[in-house]
Structure formats: C-alpha cells, structure tokens
Amino acid sequence: PVANATITPSPPAHQVRAGDPVTLRCSVQVGSAPVTFTWLHNGRAVAWGPVLELGNVSVGHSGTYQCVATNQLGQDGHRVFRALSPELALEVTPQGHRETVAAGVVGSLLFLLLLVGVIVAWHWWHRM
C-alpha cells in the first residue's frame, strides 16, 4: 500500500507573485508500483501525474493543493490503497502589489513633509 504522500513546491515559498512559475511534485515514502497521482485544488481534481506545472501563476491559482497517491494490490485489482498528502496553501499576490503600497507610503510621507514645511513657513512669515 502507498503511504506518506508529500508535496514539494518549487520555488519553496508558499507566497508567490503573479507571473512566477510554480511546480509541485508529489512523492510517496512507501508504495509499490504502479502508483498514480491525482492533484486536488481546493478539493477538486485538476490534474494527474506526479508533477503539477502551474506555469505563470495568477491570483486564481491561490488556494490549497493536495495530491492523492493510489495503487492496487493483487492480480484482481480490487484492493485499492490511497494516501492523501497534507494540504499545501499557495497564496499568489498580484503583480506589482508591493510596489504600489510602497509608492503610496512614500507619497503620503512626502505630502506630510510638504504640509509641515508650509506650516513652518506660515508661522515664520507671521512672526516677522
């Protein structure tokens, strides 16, 4: 019987940016051939085989991934064994999200600096 199914992501980070390529590999620690693999995304079957190539990911690829490893014992094939991997959570951030936030923070700081400068100049002008 199959046992100890695991997913190895490449790159190893669970958070990736839109447009990045992601590959998931499913393997079993125990299991006699032939072993078949089914990939689940948010609980729904999406692909078959030991490797899931997501290519250039989008936000729609976010969610949980699991692989189901299956093999049969005996000549009749009536004894089917399954091993379900732990869930792998994948979060895809939109392209440029961090840069947009950083630009907003810098813009706000520059505005505050300008506002303080105007207030100081106004006070200085009225003291004279």
**For 46-86, what is each residue's pLDDT tens digit?**
999 999 999 899 999 999 999 999 998 766 667 889 999 99
Predicted structure pTM score: 0.70
Helix, strand or coil, per DSSP, at residue 115: helix
Is residue 106's pLDDT more than 80? no
Is residue 36's pLDDT more than 60? yes
- The pLDDT-based confidence of 103 (bands split at 50, 70, 90) is low
pLDDT for residue 95: 77
pLDDT for residue 91: 92
DSSP readout, 16-81?
EETT-EEEEEEEEEE-PSP-EEEEEETTEEEEESSEEEEEE--GGG-EEEEEEEEEEESSS--EEE
pLDDT for residue 33: 80
